[in-house]
Structure 1
Amino acid sequence: MTDWTDWPFFDDEHRALEGEVRDWAQKNLSHAHGSDVDAECRTIVVMLGRAGFLEHTVAHNGDLPDVRRLAIIRAALAYQAGLADFSFAMQGLGSGAISLFGGDEIKKIWLPRVGKGEAIAAFALTEPDTGSDVAAISTTGTRDTDGYVINGAKSFISNGTIADVVTLFARTGSPEDGARGLSAFVLPVSTPGLTVSRRINTIAPHPLAELSLENVRVSDGCRLGEEGDGFKIAMQTLNLFRVTVGAAALGFARRALDEALAFSRERNLGGAPLADHPVTQARLADMATSLDASALLIARAAYEQDMRPGEDHRREAAMAKLHATEEAQSIIDAAVQLHGGRGVEVGSKVEELYREIRALRIYEGASEVQRQVIGKTLVKEGR
């Protein structure tokens, strides 16, 4: 199959990075999750830090992370192990708002540690009663003499059970202010009053949690940007990393196609390899075509973000995430179908991929939200 880094969206530095990550992943990562997901994630973060890959997730000297590098790394890690992709991605998302909006002091405290794998980051936006409707956040940040007192709850927080630092969003204005009443804060998870109230178990094991905040006191220095900037900070952080969700889906889908190809060559049906049957070849052709289409959308979106950083690339990013995640689900489902009974056997690679891919169509903006983003920009341009 075509190596997507050979396309003109990438340069020699990106191609070298892809080879480095791919080789490292093959040597160091197992596709199977261990019995202790939290411990495994901590170990992977340390390994990624020592390998130097986490340095790509944080800002250096005021420069934003290179989205093409992030996409390349996520695709290569996801191909080998979903938990490794998760661990890498959350270091970027969890610290992304610090890279984009943090003052010198906050950056100095957290970004070097996150980039070395010495601190694990989390991004606390979602709440038990709010998903995609960020403007409806009810966690409150009430003004105090020397800062804020935060009360509320956050849910489905990736790295919630293992994080050292969290970027958290709270309402500092009135409910009537909607999105304009939100602010962003960075605080250590050891801050008194911040606790893990519930572990959330999902079909693909990850360290997800619900967080409780009871009279959590933070200083003005913990706030990112100005009061009321929270919605803008959340959206810009998500926009920076949205394309890379599609890249992770691409990695899962590539692995599924490779597993399907290998199985169809080895499995005999009617005295001939399954791969020799026209029906199988047609299915493999559809999988490969969808895969390349996703790769092109991701490469274009990442290139646009890197080369034109001040412009609005929401539509390109939404298209990349939408197409890559939806098509990866179809590709993996087709791989499971080709494997027959073995495809649903717990422990098989395609069964693992089937569980891993599902969440990508939901988090960081569900597919329905991406369609709204695309549609709104088309209507706006039409006017």
Structure 2
Amino acid sequence: MQVDLKLDEEQRQIVAMVRELAQERIAPFAAEWDEREEFPWPVVEAYREAGLFALAFPETYGGVGASAVTQVLVVEELAKVDATAAIILAVQWLGALPILVAGSEAQKARYLPKLASGEWLAAMALTEPEAGSDVAGLQARAVRVDGGYRLTGQKKFISHGAIADVLTTFARTGGPGAKGLSAFIVEKGAPGVRVGRIERKLGLRASNTAEILFDDCFVPERHRIGEEGEGFSIAMRTLDRSRPAVAAQALGIAEGAFAAALQYAQERRAFGQEIARFQAIQFMLADMAMGIEAARGLVYRAAHLVEEEGRGGGRLTTANRYSAMAKCFASDVAMQVTIDAVQILGGYGYIRDFPVERFMRDAKITQIYEGTNQIQRIIIARSYLDLAPGP
């Protein structure tokens, strides 16, 4: 199946608006936010003003109802200047997806309008110290009590965990394995919820990544998403749809690094000429460009398939395969392109006066979060071997 990569007029206008916003309100400050490890609240305000949070939400709940392709175009454009700024949108949409795919009408009416406007921020609390890729091995437990559940456990590496107003949280309500998991909505300030360690990271240093501790936290039954035992399915349906955004983030990082390396190669002189005239540099630039273009095709195709198959909130089939491919391939490309960009800049690439070292640090996480690339390869292989997608 071929995907027409031509943008319609609305998409061109959105991309142009986002590019201008990124250049004026993000690019000049990205290095400072990274250096200070300071969450960029001005970016959140800029997104609220521009209505960018609304893109992924249905019009019924105050959103724009933009296609999955439009969403990845926006994330890609933002990541060209700052991966942290890009992930603010991606995490908002990730945190809302469990409600979108499996929430009740009452839950959607309460939460989605505030998330679409950006008034509230969302996060998804899935990973635990001993259960990241192994979602079926989650140990946080929700014990049924009168009127709801008592939630106890520890979540780790939660993007925006300390600043989110809404946490879509996964915990064990039954026995071991995937069938024992359920999904819940936990609001900020609920008794028994505490923010633990704020992680100090190699990359995405301005992004808030937190440990969340639940200590006998009461969750009303009306805040359970779907039925008991559906948590694993909800998590997988969410990740099927969210991975193209991570792939788009990786693609944008690679494009930003390539642009910086290309400009430098044409300005830096050695041995009496621009270093871009040397075949060794040309080969590196060519490989970088080929990887980026190949990744772009996979990212857009995955987003298109998510759009086509994603209606109704069920588990995806072909789109699941291509979401895994796009995330895996684009993040591997981003890592290689940023390493090569640092190499082309030489000593200057290794210092913070130039953005490529930040791009390289930021690229690494795209190979790890929302399913490591080793897990993506398992998903891809199983999709061809007709093996079960999970435990």
Structure 1 length-normalised TM: 0.93
> What residue number does 2:239 align with?
238
> Aligned ranges for residues 18-29 of structure 1 at < 5 Å?
18-29=15-26
Q: Of residues 365, 378, 382 in structure 2, which corresponds to 1:359? A: 365
Corresponding residue number in structure 2 for 1:308: 309
State how far apart, in whole Å, the 1-side matches of 2:69 and 2:103 are: 23
- State the match for 1:185 in structure 2: 184
* Higher alpha-carbon deviation: 121-130 or 99-108: 99-108
Report the residue type matching 1:356 in the other structure.
D
Whether the 8 Å CA contact 1:138–1:152 is kept in 2: the answer is yes
- For residue 343 of structure 1, what is the aligned residue in structure 2? 349
Q: Which amino acid aligns with 1:316?
A: Y
Pairwise CA distance, 1:199: 1.3
User: Which residue identity lines up with residue 346 of structure 1 in the other structure?
Assistant: R
Q: Which amino acid aligns with 1:282?
A: F
Counterpart in the other structure of 2:197: 198
Amino acid at match of 2:223: C
Instruction: Please state how far the C-alpha of 1:38 moved relative to its aligned partner.
Output: 5.0
Task: Indicate whether 1:170 and 2:180 are aligned.
Answer: no
Alignment correspondent of 2:332: 326
2:39–2:208 CA contact under 8 A, matched in 1: no
Deviation at 1:7, TM superposition (A): 4.8
Q: Give 1:164 shift.
A: 1.0
Q: Provide, for residues 219-275 of structure 1, a one-character-per-residue CA deviation record: whole Å limited to 9, x for no partner.
A: 110000111110111111111110111111110101111101110011001100011
User: CA–CA distance in 2 between the matches of 1:68 and 1:288?
Assistant: 21
User: Is 1:139 equivalent to 2:140 in the alignment?
Assistant: yes
Deviation at 1:8, TM superposition (A): 3.3
> Aligned pair in 2 of structure 1 residues 364, 112: CA closer, same or farther (>3 Å)?
same
* CA distance 1:373–1:286, shift in 2 (3 Å): same
Give the number of equivalent residue pairs.
373
Task: Give deviations 1:115-157, integer Å, cap 9, x for gaps.
Answer: 1121111100000111100000000000101110000100000
Tell me which amino acid in the other structure corresponds to 2:357: E
1:111 offset after TM fit, Å? Answer: 1.4
Partner in structure 2 of residue 272 of structure 1: 273
The residue identity in structure 2 corresponding to 1:44 is: V
* Residue 12 (str. 1) matches residue 9 (str. 2): yes
The answer (yes or no) to whether the contact 2:161–2:211 under 8 Å persists in 1 is yes
Does structure 1 retain, via aligned residues, the 8 Å contact 2:5–2:300?
A: no
Inter-CA distance 186–78: structure 2 relative to 1 (3 Å threshold): same
On the 8 A contact 2:56/2:68 being kept in 1, the answer is no
In the TM superposition, what whole-angstrom CA distance separates every residue of 1:24-53 from its partner, at most 9, and x where no partner exists? Answer: 21121133142654542x332222111111
Letter in 2 for 1:56: L
Q: Which SS does the other structure have where 1:80 is aligned?
A: coil
- 1:182-207 deviation digits (Å, cap 9, x = unpaired): 00001112100000121111112121
User: Which one-letter code corresponds to 1:335 in the other structure?
Assistant: A
Distance 2:32 2:209 in 1: 15
Structure 1 unaligned blocks of 5 or more: 1-5
CA–CA separation in structure 2 for the residues paired with 1:108 and 1:65: 19
Question: Is 1:49 aligned to 2:55, yes or no?
Answer: no
Aligned pair in 2 of structure 1 residues 39, 336: CA closer, same or farther (>3 Å)? closer
| 8 Å Cα contact 1:183-1:223 kept in structure 2 | yes
Amino acid at match of 2:376: Q
Aligned to 2:381: 375
SS at match of 1:45: helix
Distance (Å, rounded) in 1 between the aligned partners of 2:357 and 2:66: 33
Provide closer, same or farther for how the CA distance between residues 10 and 241 of structure 1 changes in structure 2, counting only shifts above 3 A: farther
Equivalent in the alignment of 2:73: 72
Q: Does 1:294 align with 2:295?
A: yes
